[in-house]
Amino acid sequence: MTQATRVHVAVPNAPYDVHVGEGVLQGIAAATAGADRVAVVSDREVCALHGDLRRHGVDAPMLEFDGGESIKTLGVLEEVLDFCAASSLSRSSILVAYGGGTVGDLTGMAASLFKRGLRVIQVPTTLLAQVDASVGGKTAINLAAGKNLAGTFHQPHAVFCDTGLLGTLSEAEYQSGLGEVIKTALIEGEPALAQLESISRDLGARAVTALSDTVARCVTTKARVVVSDPEERGARRSLNLGHTFAHAIEHAAGYGRVPHGIAVAVGLQLAASASERVYASSTDLGERIGRLLSAFGLPADLEELRSRYSLGAALTANALIEGLGHDKKGRVGAPEFVLMRGPGDIELGVMIAEEELRDLLA
Amino acid sequence: MTQATRVHVAVPNAPYDVHVGEGVLQGIAAATAGADRVAVVSDREVCALHGDLRRHGVDAPMLEFDGGESIKTLGVLEEVLDFCAASSLSRSSILVAYGGGTVGDLTGMAASLFKRGLRVIQVPTTLLAQVDASVGGKTAINLAAGKNLAGTFHQPHAVFCDTGLLGTLSEAEYQSGLGEVIKTALIEGEPALAQLESISRDLGARAVTALSDTVARCVTTKARVVVSDPEERGARRSLNLGHTFAHAIEHAAGYGRVPHGIAVAVGLQLAASASERVYASSTDLGERIGRLLSAFGLPADLEELRSRYSLGAALTANALIEGLGHDKKGRVGAPEFVLMRGPGDIELGVMIAEEELRDLLA
C-alpha cells in the first residue's frame, strides 16, 4: 500500500469511514466480519479485470451485472432484492457493492429496502464513484420520466476507495470522474482549485500520488458537506453545482449517451456562464474551468460536447430547456440552479429567466 | 361528526396527528393546503362506495387500483412512481393514500422513494389499516420470496381514520381488523383487554361509539410503541405479537388466501399456546383470546382456520415451519417469536425448539 487515508463521515446515528488509497481493499474482509451473512453485487467487467472479492477474503454469494445506466431500473432492483432473499440475508447482514456508480446506486437502494434496511459497504471502482457517488448515502434508480427520480438516503457502513482499481478505466470513464473532481474543488474554495490546477498534468496521467491525494481531498469535502445536511434539505444542494444543466443534457441526449461526469463538466462551464449573467460580474472562473477541462481532455463547452458526441440535433436549446423541467431539485415548474460567485462561494436555489437560459443553451 | 379524537405521534423530526372519528375526513382539504401539488392513489371500490376525495375538497390527479395483496409488487410501485412524475410532484408535494392497508403500504413506499421522499397522508378505509397499518410509517411491497420483504420507514404527514368509512366493509374485512384490535389490547395490558371484552358485542355489531373508541385506543397504543422505537430496533417488535405465526400461515396458504388480520387472530392464539409451553405456566389467556375470537366470528384456532378456508393440505406443520424460515425479523435461520407472560407483559426475541413448534402447529 502506498498511502492510505481514512476519512471519517460523522453523520448522526451511523458514522462511517472511507478508506482511500492504493490497496485499501485488503481491509474489506475485516469490515464484513461482524455480519451474520454477506452478499456481493459486482460489475462483471471489474471482476474480469481485477478478480472478484473472494480474492480479498470475502467468501459470499455474488451477483454480477454489466454496469451502466441501463441497470438502474426497478426491474433490475427486483433481481437484486430477490438475490438478497435467496442469500437469506437478515437485518444483521451486509450487502457489498463492487463496481461503479450505477452498481453502487442500485445496490445501495436494494440494501435500504430489503427488510427495510441492512448495511451496505461500497467499493467504488470508478473515479466518478470514488470521488462522489459512493459517499453520502444517496441511492437511486431511473424512471421513464427522468434520471434518479426514485431512491433513498441510506448511508453506507464503510467505503473502500482503492485507487489501484482506477488504472484499467477507459479514458472516457476516467475523464467522467474528473468532471466531479473539478466540481468538488469549486465547492471547496480557492486553495483547492489552485491545488487542482497545479497537479492537473499528473492527475490527467493518473500518477499514483496525485490520484490518491485527489480522491482523499474530494471525499473530505463531500463528507463535510454531507455531515452538515445528510438528507439534502439545504447546504448539501451545493453538491449539485453543474448538475441541473448536466441532467438536462443527459435527459435530452438520452440516458447513457453522455457519461454523467462529462455532462457535469460541461454543466460546470454552463453554471459559470450563468453565474456571470445572473450576478452581472466578470470573473476568470469560466476561463479557469475551461483550462482544466481542456487539460483533462474534456469538452470545454456545450458546442464541443455536441460535436464530440454527434448530438447537435438532440441537444438543442429547446430540448435542454424541456429537460430542465425534469430536474427533481426544484418545486413544480421552476428549476432551481446552484451558482457561484467564486470558488467556495456557492448560492443555492437561484432562478434564471427563460430568455437567459435560451441564450446560454443556444 | 359524532366524536373526534386527535392522537399525536411524537416521532423525532416529523411528528404528526392521527384524526379519529366519524366524519374526520372533512379535514383533509386543510391538511393538503400547504403543498405545491397533491396527487391521490385510491382504492377503486372505496371510491365507488364513498366517492373519491374530490368530494372532500381535494382537487388533484387520481390513480385508482383494486386493493389487495396483488398490488404490492415492484411493477405496480413503478406505476405509482410514474404517476408521481406525470403529476409533476416535487419534494414539496403531498401524495395521499385513500384505501386499505395494501394501498397505504404501496403509496407510502412510493412517497418515500419519489425524489427520495415527499410527504404522504394516509386515509385508511379498512379497520385493519385504521387500527394498525396506517400509523407508524412502515411501507412495503412483497417479493417472490415473502411478504413485506422490501420497504421503508416513512412516517406519514397526517392520518385520517374516518370510522364512517367502515360500515361498508365486508364481514371478512371487518373481522380481519378485529384480529389486530385483540393484538393491540394484549400489548396494552389488562385494563385494555378487559375493556375490549366488555364492548365485544357492540364492536362486533359496528356500533358507532364502540368503533370510534376502539380505533382511538388502538392508535394511541400504536403511537406510544412507535414513538419509543420508530425504526423497530427493539420495543416496536412487540407489535409483531402473533405475526411470526401469521406470516407463516399467509406464506403457506399463498398470499391473499387468508386475510392478514385473520391470520394474525389465529397467530395470537398460537402465541398464547407457545407462551404457555415456553414459560411452563398455565394462564387463562388462550381461553380469553378464544372467547374474543368466537365473539367476533373469527376462527378460534388453527384447526378452524384450516377447515374454514379449505387449507388442510396447505397448512401442514411442515409447510408452516418452512414458512417461519421466511420471517424477516430474526437473524439468519433462527425465527424469533414475540410471546406474552400476560396482558401487557410481552417478551421479544424468544426462540422455540422445533419439536415444540411441530406440536403447536400439528
Kindly state the helix (H) or strand (E) to which residue A141 belongs, with its residue range.
strand A138-143
From the list B91, B150, B330, the residue facing A113 with the nearest CB is B150
What digits encode the pLDDT tens for the residues A62-99? 999 998 889 999 999 999 999 999 999 999 999 999 99
Residue A211, domain member (yes or no): no
Number of folded domains that form chain B? 2
Same domain, A21 and A159: yes
User: Which chain A residue is nearest to residue B147, measuring alpha carbons?
Assistant: A115
How far apart, in whole angstroms, are the C-alpha atoms of residue A241 and residue A243?
5
Q: For B91-120, give the DSSP string.
A: TT-EEEEEESHHHHHHHHHHHHHBTT--EE
Please compute the mean of the pLDDT values over residues A49-56 and round it to a whole number: 96
A322 touches B: beta carbon within 8 Å: no
Chain B residues inside the 8 Å CB shell of A150: 81, 113-116
Does one domain contain both A139 and A260?
Answer: no
Domain identity same for B182 and B313: yes
For residues A20 and A139, membership in a common domain is answered with: yes
Q: Cα–Cα distance between B141 and B119 in angstroms, integer?
A: 19
Coil, strand or helix at B161: strand
CB contact under 8 Å between B153 and A116, yes or no, is yes
- Residue given cell 442500485 in the structure block: A106
| pLDDT tens by residue, A232-280 | 888 999 999 999 999 899 989 987 799 889 999 999 999 999 999 999 9
**Chain B 60-119, CB below 8 Å of chain A: which residues?**
74-75, 77-78, 81-82, 85-86, 88-93, 112-117
A233 has a chain B CB within 8 A of its CB: no
Residue B41 DSSP SS3: strand
| CB burial readout A307-333, b (16+ within 10 A) else e | eebebeebbeeebbbebbebbbbbeee
Q: Which residue of A has its CA nearest to B143?
A: A82
Task: Give the minimum alpha-carbon distance from B74 to chain A in angstroms, rounded to a whole number.
Answer: 7
Instruction: Tell me the residue type at A21.
Output: G
Distance CA B204, CA B157 (A): 31
- The pLDDT value given to residue B202: 96
Average pLDDT, chain B: 93
Query: Rounded to the nearest 5°, which phi and psi values hold at B309?
Result: -105, 10
pLDDT of residue A326: 67
Show residues of chain B in contact with A88, CB under 8 Å.
332-333
A161 and A178 co-located in one domain: no
Instruction: Give the dihedral of Cα atoms A161, A165, A168, A173; nearest 10 deg.
Output: -10
pLDDT at residue B333 tops 70: no
Domain end, chosen from B168, B188, B218, is at: B168
- Compare all CA atoms of chain B with the CA of A148 and give the residue at the minimum distance: B115
Q: Is the pLDDT of residue A328 over 70?
A: no
DSSP state of A341: E
Name the nearest CA neighbour of B95 among B57, B121, B56, B114. Answer: B121
| Residue where a domain stops, chosen among A128, A152, A168 | A168
Same domain, B316 and B348: yes
Is it the case that residue A330 has pLDDT exceeding 60? Answer: no
pLDDT tens-digit map of B274-310: 999 999 988 899 999 999 999 999 999 999 999 999 9
Cβ contact A331–B92 (<8 Å) = yes
* pLDDT for the residue A1: 46
Searching chain A, which residue's CA lies closest to the CA of residue B76?
A74
SS3 (DSSP) at B160: strand
* Mean pLDDT (whole number) for A25-34: 95
Residue to substitute from A73, A78, A348, interface B, most B β-carbons within 10 A: A78
Q: Do B150 and A114 touch (CB under 8 A)?
A: yes
The predicted pLDDT at position B143 comes to 95
Contact between chains at B82 and A231 (C-beta distance less than 8 A): no
Contact B247, B326 (CB under 8 A): yes
Give CA–CA dist A89/A275, Å, rounded. 49
Per the CB < 8 Å rule, is A331 touching B115?
no
- Partner-chain contact A151 B116, CB within 8 Å: yes
Which are the contacts of B113, defined by CB distance < 8 A and separation ≥ 6? A150, A151, A152, B77, B81, B152
Pair B79, B191 in one domain? no
- Tell me whether residue A40 is in a domain: yes
Give the pLDDT of residue B251.
87
- pLDDT for position A333: 60
Chain A residue numbers touching B328 (CB-CB < 8 A): 90-91, 115
Mark yes or no for CB contact B150/A333 under 8 Å.
no
Q: Give B120-146 pLDDT, tens digit per residue.
A: 999 999 999 999 989 999 999 999 988
Q: B110 with B196, same domain? A: no
Would the pLDDT of A199 be above 50? yes
Q: Is B281 on the interface with A (CB under 8 A)?
A: no
Query: Same domain for B331 and B237?
Result: yes
pLDDT of residue A175: 94
CA–CA distance, A346 with B152 (Å, rounded to integer) = 33
Interchain pair A78, B77: CB under 8 A:
no
A29 in a structural domain = yes
**A325 and A193 together in one domain:** yes
User: Which three three-digit cell numbers place residue A304?
Assistant: 464541443
Residue of B nearest to A330 (CA): B90
Provide the mean pLDDT of chain A: 93
Interchain proximity B143–A85, CB inside 8 Å: yes
Using the beta-carbon criterion (under 8 Å), do B116 and A138 form an inter-chain contact? yes
Q: Is the pLDDT of residue B65 over 70?
A: yes
**What digits encode the pLDDT tens for the residues B264-284?**
999 999 999 999 999 998 889
CATH number at residue B117: 3.40.50.1970
Domain shared by B114 and B182, yes or no: no
Residue A53 located in a structural domain: yes
Do residues A244 and A158 both lie within one domain?
A: no
> Out of A81, A86, A145, whose CB is closest to B82?
A145
Of residues B88, B143, B231, nearest to A82 (C-beta): B143
A149:B89 CB<8 A: no
What pLDDT, on the 0 to 100 scale, is given for residue B295? Answer: 95
A114 contacts in chain B (CB < 8 Å): 149-150
Please, are residues B154 and B12 in contact by the beta-carbon 8 Å criterion?
no
Phi/psi-derived region of residue A51, left when phi > 0, alpha when psi is between -120 and 50, beta in every other case: left
Of B25, B93, B79, B82, give the one whose Cα is nearest residue B54: B25
β-strand partners of B211:
none
Backbone angles phi, psi at B54, to 5 degrees: -60, -35
Query: Residues B196, B202, B205, CA angle at the centre, nearest 5°?
Result: 125
pLDDT at B1: 46
Answer yes or no: do A78 and B74 touch at CB < 8 A: yes
Higher local confidence (pLDDT), B67 or A309? A309
Q: Is 50 exceeded by the pLDDT of residue A360?
A: yes
Comparing C-alpha atoms, which of B142, B155, B272, B33 is closest to residue A113? B142
Identify the domain containing residue B287 by its residue range. Answer: 171-360
Report the distance separating Cα A340 and Cα A190, nearest Å: 12
Please judge whether B114 and A149 are an interchain contact, meaning their C-beta atoms are less than 8 angstroms apart: yes
Contact A36 B331 (CB under 8 A): yes
- Taking CA–CA distances from A334, the nearest residue in chain B reads B90
Q: Which residues of A touch B143 (CB under 8 A)?
A: 78, 81-82, 85
d(CA B52, CA B103) in angstroms, rounded, equals: 14
| Dist. CA A64–CA A44, nearest whole Å | 5
Check whether B227 has a pLDDT greater than 60. yes
The grid coordinates of residue A28 equal 474489506
A300: domain CATH number is: 1.20.1090.10
Amino acid present at A203: L
**What DSSP designation does A130 have?**
I
CA A92 to chain B, closest CA, distance in angstroms equals 6
Number of A–B residue contacts, CB under 8 Å: 108
Query: Does residue A28 fall inside a structural domain?
Result: yes
Instruction: Tell me which of A168, A189, A208 is where a domain ends.
Output: A168
Mutation target for B interface from A76, A77, A149, A231: give the one with most B CBs within 10 A. A149
Q: Do B332 and A117 touch (CB under 8 A)?
A: no
Give the position of cell 438528507.
A231
**Is A100 part of a structural domain of the chain?**
yes
Report how far residue B83's alpha carbon sits from residue B77's, in angstroms, rounded to the nearest whole number. Answer: 10
In a domain, A275, yes or no: yes
What pLDDT is stored for residue A71 in this prediction?
Answer: 96
B 133-162 near A (Cβ less than 8 A)? 138, 140, 143-146, 149-153
Contact A332 B37 (CB under 8 A): yes
Contact state of A332 with B75 under an 8 Å Cβ cutoff: no
- Residue B344 pLDDT exceeds 60: yes
Least CB–CB distance from B152: residue in A91, A113, A331: A113
